[in-house]
Amino acid sequence: MSDKSYSLQQLADYLKCEFIGEADKKVDALASLEKAQQSQLTFVAQDKYVKLLDDCEAGIVVLKPGLQANWQGNRLLVDDPYKAFAQLSKLFETRPKAPIGVHPSSVVAESAQISATARIAANCVIEEGVSIGEHTEIGPGCVVGANSVIGENCLLHANVSVYHDVSIGSHCIVHSGTVLGSDGFGFAPSKEEGWVKIHQLGGLRIGERVEIGSNTSIDRGALSDTVIEKGVIIDNLVHIAHGVHIGEGTAIAGCVGVAGSTTIGKHCTIAGAVAINGHIEIADNVHFHGGTIVTKGISEPGAYASIAPVQDVKKWRRNSVRYTQLDELASRVRKLEKNT
Amino acid sequence: MSDKSYSLQQLADYLKCEFIGEADKKVDALASLEKAQQSQLTFVAQDKYVKLLDDCEAGIVVLKPGLQANWQGNRLLVDDPYKAFAQLSKLFETRPKAPIGVHPSSVVAESAQISATARIAANCVIEEGVSIGEHTEIGPGCVVGANSVIGENCLLHANVSVYHDVSIGSHCIVHSGTVLGSDGFGFAPSKEEGWVKIHQLGGLRIGERVEIGSNTSIDRGALSDTVIEKGVIIDNLVHIAHGVHIGEGTAIAGCVGVAGSTTIGKHCTIAGAVAINGHIEIADNVHFHGGTIVTKGISEPGAYASIAPVQDVKKWRRNSVRYTQLDELASRVRKLEKNT
Amino acid sequence: MSDKSYSLQQLADYLKCEFIGEADKKVDALASLEKAQQSQLTFVAQDKYVKLLDDCEAGIVVLKPGLQANWQGNRLLVDDPYKAFAQLSKLFETRPKAPIGVHPSSVVAESAQISATARIAANCVIEEGVSIGEHTEIGPGCVVGANSVIGENCLLHANVSVYHDVSIGSHCIVHSGTVLGSDGFGFAPSKEEGWVKIHQLGGLRIGERVEIGSNTSIDRGALSDTVIEKGVIIDNLVHIAHGVHIGEGTAIAGCVGVAGSTTIGKHCTIAGAVAINGHIEIADNVHFHGGTIVTKGISEPGAYASIAPVQDVKKWRRNSVRYTQLDELASRVRKLEKNT
């Protein structure tokens, strides 16, 4: 797909690592161990994959120094081949950037401060008082609300909506359809008037090097800010409610929901389709398995889960009925124990 | 954040309530009991928080007449401080409105009727036959499909998509990325042709004073309309399928899904990540706990739940295996009972 | 709603079927058995609904030849009335199309190839190298990224975001807010640098006759493409991660999430709110009940489920506690068995 190619020497220089083989051997793409061709580079992420090298046709292989004897072709030797693969992936990115400057179809308020090196694509709306940092790219159709601040070297893909008074740190990536700073779900119940809206007066602060997937929603705070600390990664279709605080380096997979005022620690990994209750605290280094419903705070690091295993429907139906009788079953066992 | 400030007298007049203290004491923001400063107002939502007043530094406190002796500073006395807080929050809203009129970058069909007091922001598309009521604001990048009607005093935030033949009552708020009136998921299976699309000929009717969060999808009906009654509040990333009817004043939290042709009663509260089956009826005043999967109709008011509690992974793994053997375990208990 | 009307003769010609009754009897809408009026057509989808014909006031009824004696009015006789209803629904569609050509407010790159019969609505952005096929309609506010290809007779509703290097087959429909080709959630962990982004170099290939609902996200692949085969139907708010392969004719309902590198077979039906783990294989003709969390691959066709039934909260609380003690309960039963 890419029209870029790099020699073994160039790649070793880029990774600052040793190599073995023909310095001028060139590759023009990355591929998996099974699919890589002569013109492509691949990597051995874990020792268990080393046997796949027997049938590998890659032009260059990235692997640990300890495994170098397992491949006689061109080698890049690094301690962490998976990380090296991530670093190399950047070289082969094919998405064309928008040109530097503001596309004439975009509507930019007079008081907005757009860096001279920023790239504002077509049909954007940038409201009053906005600040956009150096080398930041705003994709087509994005809206950035009044007084919001976007740092340097950010990339907002097409059709992102940023509300007013949102701040986004440097080196952040936000994918299409994502909404940053929408109102939290706050209403006071009233017999006469129904739900009375609590206007959401807090903001949303996102640290640096945060990546947010597509069609995700992160609400602004009711009184104080919603906060996403630096280095957090968030996948698609994630809901983060008002007043949530997500600690540094935490990873949140697709379809997760986090209810209001919850604090999640640093370096947590939250698998897909997890739902986390409001007003609770999750410690650092907690892992939730996919689909877990988290009703209470977690004070100890570790792995947690809640879901029942998938079963064929006949078996599931019988076991489900028993589930609704569990307390009764436990009483019957207790009675048996007494009588024995 | 706000540059507005209000005196104790002004706030008492606005709330139509009694006050005690310096009539000209001014505040310029709302804050929580713990964080409020001299220039800020706070409130005691529930009696149990009264002890936080000991260390409170707020300039004004909203509280019940019965608790007025617990605070010696400036007081606003109301029967429902939480509702008063909601009402006051409106005064301190900082989002700038779009100017009255149609931004020249927006594309408005000739037959569309836009009130002279409406605000159409930049880069909108308003199709033929649309009607937009007085004081309604349409945010940047919104699309309103042919013949749709939006009432008075509504606010659509940026990048909302409204399909054709959708009606939205007055005083509604819709957040960014939300889609109103997309096709329901209706297909007839056919051996030869695969899934044959059932064109969705019904509309979508939304009552007045409805608020809908960001990235939510509400489908139009297949034959008759999907209906959201007045006073309903819906959070982010909610899916409401074709032909669903949601009763007055019901609240639906984030990540909820409601399948087709289901009727939900009035004044229900549906917590986050609940999924509700299609073609069922849920009575008025039903509450579902977060994460509940609702497979059958509910005919009695009350609270319902289905999820298993979160456990550490070792314990969860053992219990999960047992869950798949529950029916067998029950048989074994029955056998023991017979033998005793 | 529609201003179109069709005679019994015209409808029989369209369906290529027999009719009984007045050839020039006209109807102008479709309706359910219960609600249909004299000017409307209805259908008997299943034999069990035949008793509703007693009170039916429809002008024309579609039914199986075997049931024709149950209705004395105008009849269309077809083997599959539900499919006929789907086919007829197309005739009564009321959404006006965008005009042929490119709306002047849209920004189209010079190298983009737009068919002369295509319809590009207002405020679209079509990037370099894009190809858009005959009779395809692109709704207002859509963005199509560089080098993406959209086939013939497609319809993208308003505010769809298509990334670069995405291909969409002919006769596809994509609803508003949907994002096609966003980056997969791929990061290499690094002690020093946190999460290192793996640039997603694969594409997204969507076959023909695919329909995708609103606010759905489908990611591009990391190295090889994400693939949606022909005839797949996908509902709203669905998350499909990088490298997923979905087989022909599979149906995926709302709020489903599919994690990375998973393969789903042909003709599967995945009900709402199902979450499917990554790196697993699901066979052809598998059905998952709503809310099921699928942790392991499924090698046999059939129906599967995992969720616990909804209970009133008091009962649920007691049974939930027992669930966390299940393994212990099983041990106690074993002990009792030994002692008997």
Which residues does residue B227 pair with via DSSP β-bridges, in sequence order? Answer: B205, B245
Q: How are beta strands C302-305 and A311-312 bridged, if at all?
A: antiparallel
- Provide the CA B219 distance to its chain's centre, in angstroms: 17
Closest residue in B to C98 (Cα) is B127
Neighbours of A, requiring at least 3 CB pairs below 8 Å, are B, C
pLDDT tens for C176-190 read 999 999 999 999 999
Mean confidence (pLDDT) of chain C: 96
Please compute, for residue A296, the number of CA atoms within 13 A of its CA located in the half-sphere on the CB side.
12
Mean pLDDT of B84-111: 97
Which residues does residue A312 pair with via DSSP β-bridges, in sequence order? Answer: C304
Binary contact (B308, C309; C-beta < 8 A): no
Binary contact (A215, C303; C-beta < 8 A): no
Scored b (16 or more CB within 10 A) or e, A7-35 reads bbeebbeebebebebeeebbbbbbbbbee
Q: Are C271 and C255 in contact (CB under 8 A)?
A: no
Mean confidence (pLDDT) of chain A: 96
Mutation pick from B33, B327, B337, B339 vs chain A, by most beta carbons of A within 10 Å, is: B327
Q: Which one, of B219, B222, B109, lies nearest residue C235 by Cα?
A: B219
Please compute, for residue B76, the number of CA atoms within 13 A of its CA located in the half-sphere on the CB side.
34
In terms of residues, how long is chain A? Answer: 340
Closest residue in B to C92 (Cα) is B201
Closest residue in C to A235 (Cα) is C185
Domain at B101-304: CATH architecture: 3 Solenoid (2.160)
Choose the CATH number for C6-92 among 3.40.1390.10, 3.20.20.80, 3.40.50.720, 3.10.50.40.
3.40.1390.10
At C1, the pLDDT band (50, 70, 90 cuts) reads very low
pLDDT on residue A4: 87
pLDDT tens for C13-36 read 999 999 999 999 999 999 999 999
In the predicted model, is pLDDT for residue C2 greater than 70?
no
Q: Which one, of C253, C257, C252, lies nearest residue C241 by Cα?
A: C257
Q: Which are the catalytic amino acids of B?
A: 242
pLDDT on residue B4: 87
Q: How far apart are CA A176 and CA B281, in angstroms?
A: 36
pLDDT on residue A339: 86
pLDDT on residue B72: 94
Q: Are A266 and A248 in contact (CB under 8 A)?
A: yes
pLDDT on residue B2: 52
Q: What is the DSSP letter of B298?
A: B
Q: What is the DSSP letter of B37?
A: -
Q: Which are the catalytic amino acids of A?
A: 242
Contacting residues for B51 by C-beta, under 8 A, at least 6 apart: none
Query: What are the residue boundaries of the structural domains of chain A, listed by start?
Result: 6-92, 101-304, 312-340
Q: Which are the catalytic amino acids of C?
A: 242
Q: How far apart are CA C276 and CA C288, in angstroms?
A: 10
Mutation pick from A223, A224, A244, A310 vs chain B, by most beta carbons of B within 10 Å, is: A223
ipTM (interface pTM): 0.97
Which residues does residue C316 pair with via DSSP β-bridges, in sequence order? Answer: none
Tokens linked to B176: 């960014």
Task: List phi, psi (to 5°) of B293.
Answer: -105, 120
Question: Using a CB-CB distance cutoff of 8 angstroms, which residues of chain A are in contact with residue B310?
Answer: 288, 292-296, 298, 304-306
Please compute, for residue C142, the number of CA atoms within 13 A of its CA located in the half-sphere on the CB side.
29
Neighbours of B, requiring at least 3 CB pairs below 8 Å, are A, C
pLDDT tens for C147-174 read 999 999 999 999 999 999 999 999 999 9
Binary contact (A93, C201; C-beta < 8 A): yes
Within chain A, which residues score under 70 in pLDDT? 1-2
In the predicted model, is pLDDT for residue C3 greater than 80?
no
pLDDT on residue A1: 44
Mean confidence (pLDDT) of chain B: 96
Question: Using a CB-CB distance cutoff of 8 angstroms, which residues of chain B are in contact with residue A255?
Answer: 255
Q: Are B138 and B159 in contact (CB under 8 A)?
A: no
Question: Using a CB-CB distance cutoff of 8 angstroms, which residues of chain B are in contact with residue C213?
Answer: 182-183, 185, 217, 219
Tokens linked to C284: 């052809």
Q: Which one, of A299, A302, A237, lies nearest residue A273 by Cα?
A: A237
How close is the nearest chain A Cα to the Cα of B223, in Å?
29
Q: How far apart are CA A139 and CA A158, in angstroms?
A: 4
CA distances from C116 to B140, C99, C131, C156, C173 (A): 30, 12, 12, 17, 20
Q: How far apart are CA B48 and CA A67, in angstroms?
A: 64
Q: To the nearest 5 percent, what fractions of chain B are helix, strand and coil?
A: 20, 30, 55
Question: Using a CB-CB distance cutoff of 8 angstroms, which residues of chain A are in contact with residue B290?
Answer: 259, 275, 277, 293, 295
Question: Using a CB-CB distance cutoff of 8 angstroms, which residues of chain A are in contact with residue C239?
Answer: 235-237, 254-255, 272
Which residues does residue A235 pair with via DSSP β-bridges, in sequence order? Answer: none
Q: Give residue for tokens 């409106």.
A: B90
Interior angle at CA C161, CA C157 and CA C167, nearest 5: 90
Helix (H, G, I), strand (E, B) or coil at B110: coil
Neighbours of C, requiring at least 3 CB pairs below 8 Å, are A, B
Residue type present at position C61: V
How close is the nearest chain C Cα to the Cα of A46, in Å?
13
Name which of C29, C86, C330 is nearest B187 (Cβ-Cβ). Answer: C86
Mean pLDDT of B324-329: 92
Closest residue in A to C333 (Cα) is A333
Task: List phi, psi (to 5°) of B290.
Answer: -55, 140
pLDDT tens for A262-304 read 999 999 999 999 999 999 999 999 999 999 999 999 999 999 9
Binary contact (B203, C1; C-beta < 8 A): yes
Neighbours of A135 (CB within 10 A): 18
Task: List phi, psi (to 5°) of C317.
Answer: -65, -45
Q: How are beta strands B161-162 and B194-197 bridged, if at all?
A: unpaired
Helix (H, G, I), strand (E, B) or coil at B15: helix
Strand order across the beta sheet in which B29-30 lies:
B18-20, B74-77, B60-63, B40-43, B29-30
- Provide the CA B89 distance to its chain's centre, in angstroms: 17
Question: Using a CB-CB distance cutoff of 8 angstroms, which residues of chain B are in contact with residue A186?
Answer: 86
Q: How far apart are CA A68 and CA A45, in angstroms?
A: 13
Closest residue in C to A325 (Cα) is C319
Q: How far apart are CA B163 and CA B143, in angstroms?
A: 8
pLDDT on residue B1: 44
Question: Using a CB-CB distance cutoff of 8 angstroms, which residues of chain B are in contact with residue C80?
Answer: 188, 190
Q: How far apart are CA A14 and CA A260, in angstroms?
A: 44
At B276, the pLDDT band (50, 70, 90 cuts) reads very high
Which residues does residue B105 pair with via DSSP β-bridges, in sequence order? Answer: none
pLDDT on residue B308: 87
Q: Which of A167-176, A241-250, B321-330, C131-140 has the lowest mean pLDDT?
A: B321-330
Mean pLDDT of C49-56: 94
Neighbours of B314 (CB within 10 A): 11
